[in-house]
Structure 1
């Protein structure tokens, strides 16, 4: 009798606990499967303004928020080293011109030596041929004849050497003058690098340097970009990137607009993982661009992978080990389909009238 009473009490308790558990039924409704991504707003087109040479920021012609036209001057930089190089190039050119075509040019010196050598050659030539004529008539000694011949040959050789030296010197002076001209032109081109102009019609989003500050080639002076066209820059986890395709719909929520939802489309998928964040970069363009957008606004986005307007779904937390549910008739195995943040599609194994327990 005691044992029977205990069994009856236990059975009653189990029935009572089961009756207290809440049940739900699957719903026929829509479901959207999406990939989560963090979002940052950027101008559709923008670039960092960098100097092509280091220098001191002499003049700042724009401020944050200014609209600029393509070719409009933004900044002017100066560099003492560049100025000294330019002056040195001009001095080198002046010296090269003087050496080539000035009053005391090197060619004049060579020409004077050639003239002297020519006169000496003429004199030695006369002496030699006169001595030769006498020697042929047995007048004079052989030693005197040999001396005249040697002097003539030496003068002739020296004259030829000076002629070659003149040609070589003229060529060298011309080359030096051309190199000096090139150096001046190059310094003029480099000096133009210190005037920075806008590459596009747009808006100045940021300026990072003030007049008087030193700027290197690696430093960004400002950011210029599209004034009214924006895109959203998305960071997608590596486990999800394989599911992203161009033209997929993107639902965007921004911190600055808590009560608004914006729609965009995937426009570009960057194939390399970002080393710093270990995520993949994806860009999306807005279907309609709202007003009052600003560069750098942050938020979150859902990239729609698939969606159905009407299908059988249950809450995700009612699913056990990914393929079972607990019903009033016992545990059942189900086949699932799309999965959203909160619900999962049931393809088979349940009907709309089934009652489900939430797993304990």
Structure 2
């Protein structure tokens, strides 16, 4: 009798355990996934770029010769006219060179006068006279070249504008490289962003497109620009094209600031949208009564975080987001969210 009771209890426990195991296999093994609701909102497709704020019209002033600065204006932030003197470089050597050449020219001029007189008396040949004149003209050319070098030691404003920046002090050695500018002269307004865009994105960029800018110094502030011009030739080394973005006169951005730019290629308002991470190979995993239903969709504007859905889904539908590559069509799941 006791043995029978023990057998009955063993069978009951086995049935309970088997049911629990079946329930775990049937329900507990279903993966827990996050879902979002398809809704309407704004979406924009953008091309990313980086750039630097620059004046629309400006010029660098760089020394032609590596010489020491002997005088420099205190003119940063001040208005100048084209031709105004900004700095002088040490001209001691060039002045000595010009003086030496002019002394030699004086001797050659005397020689020309002497040979000319002899030629008139038939005491010198035409060849001798021509040689004397040629030698004089060669020295005239050499003197002119030296005088130009002397003049180049006076650095002048290349255009009308404001001295935006001055680098250098009396006693410094002026360099001649592209990165050795002593002055930046230009108009403080209007400003633009000189942006570099990857060559694969260029077919979508057009003049007149709106641009959204970002700078860490202005968090949360709307900074806008417009595509104003595009260089016809790209850089084969960096594989980028230079794109100029016009800034409004009231922009808080300042010359020399680095910015991130999002060029708006397309935008939609009140569009049917899903997270970009929910779409894989043109399909989403829709969830209906806890079961995955893989659904092909047609997308429109494709933003960085959101995609516009043109067909395949309706507002209010639930889709898996982010997509789970291991999910199979028809699989039962457990839902978390939205």
1:162-206 CA-partner distances (Å, limit 9, x unpaired): x47433323322333333334334433332222222122222232
| RMSD of aligned Cα (Å) | 2.8
How many residue pairs end up in the alignment? Answer: 302
CA pair 6-215 structure 1, distance change in 2 beyond 3 A = closer
How far the C-alpha of 1:250 sits from its partner, in A, is 0.5
CA pair 299-217 structure 1, distance change in 2 beyond 3 A = closer
How far the C-alpha of 1:273 sits from its partner, in A, is 2.5
1:54-112 CA-partner distances (Å, limit 9, x unpaired): 433221024433332222211122333322321122112210122233xxx4566788x
* Equivalent of residue 352 in structure 1, options 288, 301, 315: 315
* Equivalent of residue 256 in structure 1, options 217, 232, 235: 217
Larger Rg: 1
Q: In the aligned structure 1, how far is the partner of 2:59 from the partner of 2:119?
A: 59
How far the C-alpha of 1:216 sits from its partner, in A, is 4.3
How far the C-alpha of 1:266 sits from its partner, in A, is 1.0
1:228 aligned onto 2:189: yes
How far the C-alpha of 1:5 sits from its partner, in A, is 5.6
Q: In the aligned structure 1, how far is the partner of 2:193 from the partner of 2:171?
A: 36
Could you tell me the TM-score, scaled by structure 1's length?
A: 0.74
How far the C-alpha of 1:232 sits from its partner, in A, is 1.0
1:176 aligned onto 2:135: yes
Could you tell me the TM-score, scaled by structure 2's length?
A: 0.78
Q: In the aligned structure 2, how far is the partner of 1:294 from the partner of 1:8?
A: 66
Answer with 163-172 or 332-341: which moved more: 163-172
How far the C-alpha of 1:9 sits from its partner, in A, is 4.3
CA pair 6-259 structure 1, distance change in 2 beyond 3 A = closer
The runs of 5 or more residues in structure 2 that have no matched partner are 1-13, 325-338
How far the C-alpha of 1:302 sits from its partner, in A, is 0.8
1:208 aligned onto 2:170: no
CA pair 212-274 structure 1, distance change in 2 beyond 3 A = farther
* 1:28-177 → structure 2 map (5 Å cutoff): 28-101=40-113, 105=114, 163=122, 165-177=124-136
CA pair 66-355 structure 1, distance change in 2 beyond 3 A = same
The runs of 5 or more residues in structure 1 that have no matched partner are 115-162
Q: In the aligned structure 1, how far is the partner of 2:316 from the partner of 2:55?
A: 51
Structure with bigger helix share is: 1
